């Protein structure tokens, strides 16, 4: 299981598509550079459930999206309106 970027820069979490247990979530977090890193215990802890439970977790896409924002630059992915 790893974090990686698609060609459009969006960060994904998933497995190698050639493996039997195929898993893939696309977040709405855009990276400024390529990411290709294994999922760590701290990533799993922040997501809040174990990978073997993700297929049955109805909120897993949002949990993964929140983790991506935390680990890969939440501030870079938010648009802040200027206050006059």
Whether the predicted model's global pTM rises above the 0.85 cut:
no
How far apart CA 21 and CA 16 sit, in angstroms, is 9
Tokens of 36: 């290709």
What is the pLDDT, as a whole number, of residue 36? 92
Determine if residue 6 is left, alpha or beta; phi over 0 gives left, psi from -120 to 50 gives alpha, anything else beta.
beta
Q: What is the mean pLDDT of residues 15-43?
A: 84
82 confidence band (pLDDT: 50, 70, 90): very low
Three-state SS at 44: helix
At 30-76, the pLDDT tens digits run: 988 899 999 999 999 999 999 989 989 999 999 999 999 999 875 44
Burial class, 15, CB count within 10 angstroms (exposed 0-12 / middle 13-18 / buried 19+): middle
């Amino acid at each position: 299981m790893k974090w990686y970027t698609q060609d459009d820069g969006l960060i994904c979490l998933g497995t190698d598509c050639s493996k039997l247990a195929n898993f893939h979530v696309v977040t709405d977090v855009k990276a400024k550079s390529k990411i290709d890193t294994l999922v760590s215990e701290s990533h799993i802890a922040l997501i809040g459930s174990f990978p073997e439970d993700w297929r049955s977790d109805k909120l897993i896409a949002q949990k993964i999206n929140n983790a991506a924002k935390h680990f890969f630059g939440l501030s870079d992915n938010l648009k802040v309106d200027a206050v006059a």
